[in-house]
């Protein structure tokens, strides 16, 4: 196993580095220290062919100009905060708007736009990289100096584990996720509509017209959001369900997970034989079928279009600070935020 460090580009006079984690079977995960972006995941198909199974770019300029959060860490708070404001200990905090009236993925100059410190790690049976960043008090409207560490580790079992940890000197909000777009066909040979998705979830959060939670949970039974037995994504996105139409004829919803660390999310592409199993300690997963992807740029020679990738964003419930019935994403001074998600790549013939 090895880690290869290379120069990826330069931004504002700072060097952006690429780190490639590779195991002995040839699986490779590449990431850069801009936004902790995962640029490539090279995984085998049922014939042993190694191909890229995520959306990304080969150059820094494209990430800055065109990227809809490809592979990035989103924070301080992933997802939307309604009306770009929240109350904490009696004080109202106003956040910058970057999604109509909402505050999205930490704001316009959030973690996905930052250059992080990085350190390679080589352990027994796994290799990785640790990214570190300190978000200063008041940055993007949030209180507290927040020290964050993101760890990517690849092992010999073709498992990528993302570890998140953070501490603060003042009570603040935190809800981190990774925004990788997966496509198991390999090198974008096809879209994700024929992928089969299985999710151990009985409930989703209902969204309002501004694509933020209403506060109500919806039972998935009898709806296109019922993935408990597994079904093709096209079955869901072709539905006339109001919640499907609301987000551009697709899925962009939080699913409340019923189980953890027990193959609670599985994605399968029959043609390639690739299967992705996601296990997490997080409360929910926001599933996004790239139904609102713009079509005015190219992804490594492939024209961007709807349904080209699927995001499996494990996280706490979005906009939880504005819904008292949700578990809040509050971090107190002296406490540690700590969570992890593992992505296991297998093949089925």
* Phi-psi sector, 39: left (phi>0), alpha (psi -120 to 50), beta: alpha
Q: Is residue 12 flagged as an active site residue?
A: no
Give the Cα-Cα-Cα angle 342, 260, 73 (nearest 5 degrees): 40
Contact 128, 29 (CB under 8 A): no
pLDDT at 349: 73
Q: Write the CATH number for 168.
A: 2.70.98.10
Contact 183, 54 (CB under 8 A): yes
User: How far lies 167's CA from each of 69, 173, 334, in Å?
Assistant: 24, 11, 7
User: What is the span of the domain harbouring residue 91?
Assistant: 2-347
**What CA–CA distance (Å, rounded) separates 245 from 223?**
13
pLDDT at 129: 98
> Pick the catalytic residue: 105, 126, 139, 179?
179
pLDDT at 84: 98
**What CA–CA distance (Å, rounded) separates 6 from 44?**
24
Q: Is residue 261 flagged as an active site residue?
A: no
Kindly give the parts of the chain with pLDDT less than 70: none
Total number of domains in the chain: 1
> Pick the catalytic residue: 126, 264, 313, 323?
313
């Amino acid at each position: 196993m090895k880690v290869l460090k290379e120069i990826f580009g330069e931004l504002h006079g700072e060097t952006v580095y690429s780190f490639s984690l590779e195991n002995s079977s040839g699986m490779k995960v590449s990431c850069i220290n801009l936004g902790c972006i995962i640029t490539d995941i090279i995984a085998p198909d049922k014939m042993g062919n190694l191909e890229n199974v995520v959306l990304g770019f080969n150059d820094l300029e494209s990430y800055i100009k065109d990227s809809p959060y490809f592979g990035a860490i989103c924070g301080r708070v992933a997802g939307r905060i309604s009306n770009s404001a929240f109350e904490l200990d009696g004080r109202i905090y106003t956040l910058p708007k970057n999604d109509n009236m909402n505050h999205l993925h930490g704001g316009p100059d959030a973690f996905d736009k930052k250059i992080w410190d990085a350190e390679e790690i080589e352990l027994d049976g796994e290799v990785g990289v640790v990214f570190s960043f300190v978000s200063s008090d008041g940055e993007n409207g949030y209180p507290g100096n927040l020290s964050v560490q993101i760890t990517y580790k690849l092992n010999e079992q073709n498992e990528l584990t993302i570890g998140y940890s953070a501490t603060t000197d003042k009570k603040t909000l935190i809800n981190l996720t990774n925004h990788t777009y997966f496509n198991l066909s390999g090198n974008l040979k096809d879209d994700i509509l024929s992928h089969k998705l299985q999710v151990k979830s009985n409930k989703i959060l209902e969204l309002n017209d501004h694509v933020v939670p209403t506060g109500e949970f919806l039972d998935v039974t009898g709806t296109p959001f019922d993935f408990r037995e597994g079904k093709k994504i096209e079955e869901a996105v072709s539905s006339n369900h109001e919640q499907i139409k609301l987000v551009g004829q697709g899925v962009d919803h939080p699913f409340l997970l019923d189980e953890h660390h027990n193959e609670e999310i599985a994605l399968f592409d029959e043609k390639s034989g690739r299967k992705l199993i996601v296990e997490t300690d997080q409360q929910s997963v926001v599933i996004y079928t790239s139904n609102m992807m713009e079509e005015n740029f190219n992804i490594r020679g492939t024209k961007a279009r709807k349904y080209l990738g699927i995001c499996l964003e494990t996280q706490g419930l979005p906009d939880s600070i504005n819904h008292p019935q949700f578990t809040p994403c509050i971090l107190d001074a002296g406490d540690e935020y700590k969570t992890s998600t593992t992505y296991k790549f297998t093949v089925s013939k």
